[in-house]
Amino acid sequence: MKIKHIDHIGIAVKSIEQAGKFYTDVLGLTIEDIENVADQKVNVAFLPITDSEIELLESTDPDGPIAKYINARGEGIQHIAFRVDNIEEALEELKKKGVRMIDNEPRGGAGGAKIAFIHPKETGGVLVEICERD
Ligand code: ZN
Protein backbone atom coordinates (compact mmCIF):
# COMPACT_ATOMS: atom_id res chain seq x y z
CA MET A 1 0.00 0.00 0.00
CA LYS A 2 1.11 3.53 -0.62
CA ILE A 3 0.83 5.85 2.35
CA LYS A 4 0.52 9.37 0.94
CA HIS A 5 0.87 11.42 4.08
CA ILE A 6 -0.45 11.84 7.59
CA ASP A 7 -4.08 12.78 7.01
CA HIS A 8 -4.82 13.86 10.54
CA ILE A 9 -4.04 13.42 14.20
CA GLY A 10 -7.12 12.79 16.34
CA ILE A 11 -7.01 14.37 19.78
CA ALA A 12 -9.58 13.48 22.44
CA VAL A 13 -10.79 16.57 24.30
CA LYS A 14 -13.49 17.22 26.85
CA SER A 15 -14.50 20.44 25.13
CA ILE A 16 -13.68 21.65 21.63
CA GLU A 17 -14.33 25.20 22.79
CA GLN A 18 -11.88 24.95 25.69
CA ALA A 19 -9.16 22.83 24.09
CA GLY A 20 -9.48 24.63 20.76
CA LYS A 21 -8.17 27.85 22.26
CA PHE A 22 -4.59 26.55 22.35
CA TYR A 23 -4.69 25.65 18.65
CA THR A 24 -6.39 28.88 17.55
CA ASP A 25 -5.15 31.54 19.98
CA VAL A 26 -1.63 30.21 20.57
CA LEU A 27 -0.77 28.31 17.38
CA GLY A 28 -2.84 30.50 15.08
CA LEU A 29 -4.69 27.63 13.41
CA THR A 30 -8.30 27.93 12.33
CA ILE A 31 -11.24 25.67 13.16
CA GLU A 32 -12.54 25.28 9.63
CA ASP A 33 -15.60 23.26 10.48
CA ILE A 34 -17.22 21.22 13.25
CA GLU A 35 -19.07 18.09 12.22
CA ASN A 36 -21.22 15.71 14.25
CA VAL A 37 -20.46 12.05 13.50
CA ALA A 38 -23.54 10.44 15.01
CA ASP A 39 -22.47 6.78 14.88
CA GLN A 40 -19.25 7.62 16.76
CA LYS A 41 -21.09 9.90 19.22
CA VAL A 42 -18.58 12.64 18.62
CA ASN A 43 -18.19 16.20 17.39
CA VAL A 44 -15.10 16.67 15.24
CA ALA A 45 -13.40 20.04 14.80
CA PHE A 46 -11.09 20.29 11.77
CA LEU A 47 -7.95 22.46 11.95
CA PRO A 48 -6.10 22.13 8.63
CA ILE A 49 -2.32 22.41 8.32
CA THR A 50 -1.33 22.09 4.63
CA ASP A 51 -2.00 18.43 3.66
CA SER A 52 -2.82 17.35 7.20
CA GLU A 53 -5.06 18.45 9.98
CA ILE A 54 -5.61 18.30 13.67
CA GLU A 55 -8.98 16.84 14.58
CA LEU A 56 -10.35 17.63 18.01
CA LEU A 57 -12.75 14.90 19.12
CA GLU A 58 -15.38 15.79 21.69
CA SER A 59 -17.83 13.16 22.90
CA THR A 60 -21.53 13.83 22.63
CA ASP A 61 -22.45 10.90 24.88
CA PRO A 62 -20.98 9.59 28.17
CA ASP A 63 -20.97 6.08 26.63
CA GLY A 64 -19.26 7.11 23.40
CA PRO A 65 -15.79 5.84 22.49
CA ILE A 66 -14.13 9.22 23.07
CA ALA A 67 -15.76 9.63 26.50
CA LYS A 68 -14.56 6.14 27.42
CA TYR A 69 -11.08 6.94 26.14
CA ILE A 70 -10.87 10.10 28.24
CA ASN A 71 -12.19 8.27 31.32
CA ALA A 72 -9.51 5.61 30.94
CA ARG A 73 -6.51 7.64 29.74
CA GLY A 74 -7.33 11.32 29.98
CA GLU A 75 -7.33 13.87 27.20
CA GLY A 76 -4.64 13.60 24.55
CA ILE A 77 -3.66 12.07 21.21
CA GLN A 78 -6.16 9.31 20.46
CA HIS A 79 -5.22 8.17 16.96
CA ILE A 80 -3.08 8.86 13.90
CA ALA A 81 -4.58 8.60 10.41
CA PHE A 82 -2.60 7.77 7.28
CA ARG A 83 -4.05 8.66 3.90
CA VAL A 84 -4.02 6.03 1.14
CA ASP A 85 -5.13 6.18 -2.50
CA ASN A 86 -7.38 3.16 -2.28
CA ILE A 87 -8.65 1.93 1.07
CA GLU A 88 -10.12 -1.31 -0.31
CA GLU A 89 -6.69 -2.29 -1.66
CA ALA A 90 -5.03 -1.26 1.61
CA LEU A 91 -7.44 -3.41 3.65
CA GLU A 92 -6.90 -6.33 1.30
CA GLU A 93 -3.15 -6.04 1.81
CA LEU A 94 -3.48 -5.75 5.59
CA LYS A 95 -5.69 -8.86 5.67
CA LYS A 96 -3.16 -10.77 3.55
CA LYS A 97 -0.46 -9.78 6.02
CA GLY A 98 -2.62 -11.12 8.86
CA VAL A 99 -3.00 -7.74 10.55
CA ARG A 100 -5.83 -7.69 13.06
CA MET A 101 -8.30 -4.94 12.27
CA ILE A 102 -11.00 -3.18 14.24
CA ASP A 103 -12.79 -2.52 10.93
CA ASN A 104 -12.65 -5.24 8.31
CA GLU A 105 -14.60 -3.06 5.88
CA PRO A 106 -14.29 0.68 5.28
CA ARG A 107 -16.84 2.86 7.02
CA GLY A 108 -17.79 6.51 6.81
CA GLY A 109 -15.68 8.96 8.80
CA ALA A 110 -15.69 12.69 9.34
CA GLY A 111 -15.22 14.92 6.31
CA GLY A 112 -16.64 12.35 3.89
CA ALA A 113 -13.66 10.03 4.33
CA LYS A 114 -13.66 6.25 4.08
CA ILE A 115 -11.83 4.94 7.13
CA ALA A 116 -10.77 1.76 8.90
CA PHE A 117 -8.93 1.27 12.18
CA ILE A 118 -6.10 -1.21 12.78
CA HIS A 119 -6.13 -2.95 16.15
CA PRO A 120 -3.69 -1.24 18.57
CA LYS A 121 -2.25 -4.66 19.54
CA GLU A 122 -0.72 -4.69 16.03
CA THR A 123 0.89 -1.28 16.24
CA GLY A 124 2.69 -0.98 19.55
CA GLY A 125 -0.27 0.61 21.24
CA VAL A 126 -1.04 3.31 18.68
CA LEU A 127 -4.57 3.45 17.31
CA VAL A 128 -3.91 3.75 13.57
CA GLU A 129 -6.55 4.78 11.06
CA ILE A 130 -6.25 4.25 7.33
CA CYS A 131 -8.28 6.74 5.35
CA GLU A 132 -9.15 7.65 1.80
CA ARG A 133 -10.74 10.89 0.71
CA ASP A 134 -10.82 13.16 -2.29
ZN1 ZN B 1 -9.59 9.96 12.43
pLDDT at residue 112 in the model: 87
**C-alpha–C-alpha distance, residues 82 and 94, integer Å:** 14
Domains of the chain: 3-132 (3.10.180.10)
CA of 23 to the centre of ligand 1 (A): 18
pLDDT at residue 46 in the model: 96
b vs e for 26-36, b when ≥16 Cβ sit within 10 Å of the residue's Cβ?
eeebebeeeee
pLDDT at residue 24 in the model: 98
CA of 10 to the centre of ligand 1 (A): 5
Neighbours of 21 (CB within 10 A): 11
Collect all residues with Cβ–Cβ distance below 8 Å to 87 and sequence separation of at least 6.
Answer: 106, 114, 115, 116, 130, 131, 132
CA of 97 to the centre of ligand 1 (A): 23
**C-alpha–C-alpha distance, residues 118 and 101, integer Å:** 4
Q: What is the largest CA-CA distance in the chain?
A: 45
CA of 98 to the centre of ligand 1 (A): 22
CA of 108 to the centre of ligand 1 (A): 11
CA of 11 to the centre of ligand 1 (A): 9
pLDDT at residue 111 in the model: 83
Quickly list H helices, the chain. 16-21, 65-73, 87-96
**C-alpha–C-alpha distance, residues 104 and 124, integer Å:** 19
List the Cα angle 2/101/85 in 5-degree steps. 20
CA of 25 to the centre of ligand 1 (A): 23
- pLDDT (tens digit, 0 to 9) for every residue of the chain, 134 residues total? 899 999 999 999 999 999 999 999 999 999 999 999 998 999 999 999 999 999 999 999 999 999 999 999 999 999 999 999 999 999 999 999 999 999 999 999 888 899 999 999 999 999 999 999 98
CA of 42 to the centre of ligand 1 (A): 11
Neighbours of 25 (CB within 10 A): 9
Q: List, as ranges, residues with CB under 5 A of the ion ligand 1.
A: 10, 81, 129
